[in-house]
Amino acid sequence: MSRDHYASFSFTDDPAFGVDTFFLERSLSSQGFAAIAGVDEAGRGPLAGPVVAGCVVLPDLNDYSRFKDSKQLTSDRREELFAELHDCRAHIGVGICSPREIEEKNILQASLLAMKRAVYDCLPDGLPDFLLVDGTFSVPIALTQQTLIKGESKSASVAAASIIAKVTRDHIMTLAHEDFPRYNFIKNQGYPTKEHRAALAEFGPCVLHRRTFKCVREFFTVSEEQASIANQKTLWPG
């Protein structure tokens, strides 16, 4: 199958779909795809920090069920699985878009660009054969792929990518806390908590804040174009 083909496969009629979280990967492998990658991102909603994407090609393992949606795992468990993924011969790629890129492109396009960067970062020699992508938007890259709503619960590879993205971003925000302790990024990771919004009201935004996002853009004089970009973040479904 051509690499520039955007596929749309239907696996939902099989009773194993949604129960066996490696069913999609196994089915695609039987069709001749050798390197099947899961792709996901973290950091769409925060007021500060980058959006980070993960891309993971899992190795042959005995148990994929331990890789779950990162939002359903404790911080300690995410860290354990993050380390395990790096130790188990998984191919891992990470893509990042900065706050300035988010402002320029809007959060949807920045998230997709971070995913594209993660795909390019995943394999040492070439690209995956097939992408399983969380959400409803394809990665802007000429690879065969399938989008999956709530993909972390349907594909172990996507769940693994969600863990890579979430933990990597948390590490970035932990380092950011050292430079900007007044916002308590180590606790809120840049999300609009009551405490974070209070710090913004008292101290104003720092360089890591997304200037086109509500609760931050009020501190700046933004153009109509920037305001339009800020409003487009609602195009990315939850």
In a domain, 197, yes or no: yes
Global confidence as pTM? 0.87
In a domain, 11, yes or no: no
In a domain, 17, yes or no: no
In a domain, 198, yes or no: yes
Tens-place pLDDT, residues 77-113: 999 999 999 998 899 999 999 999 999 999 999 999 9
In a domain, 87, yes or no: yes
**Total domains, the chain:** 1
SS (H, E, C) the chain: CCCCCCCCCCCCCCCCCCCCCCHHHHHHHHCCCCCEEEEEEECCCCCECCEEEEEEECCCCCCCCCCCCHHHCCHHHHHHHHHHHHHCCCEEEEEEECHHHHHHHCHHHHHHHHHHHHHHHHCCCCCCCEEEEECCCCCCCCCEEEEECCHHHCCHHHHHHHHHHHHHHHHHHHHHHHHCHHHCHHHHCCCCCHHHHHHHHHHCCCCCECCCCCCCHHHCCCCHHHHHHHHHHHHCCC
Tens-place pLDDT, residues 144-186: 999 999 999 999 999 999 999 999 999 999 999 999 999 999 9
Q: Identify the domain containing residue 167 by its residue range.
A: 23-235
Identify the weakest region by mean pLDDT among 70-84, 191-205, 214-228: 214-228
Q: Please tell me the predicted confidence (pLDDT) of residue 238.
A: 36
Largest alpha-carbon pair distance within the chain?
58
In a domain, 10, yes or no: no
Q: Which residues on adjacent β-strands are paired with residue 61?
A: none
Q: What percent of the chain has a predicted confidence (pLDDT) above 70?
A: 84
In a domain, 14, yes or no: no
In a domain, 48, yes or no: yes
For residue 43, the domain's CATH number is 3.30.420.10
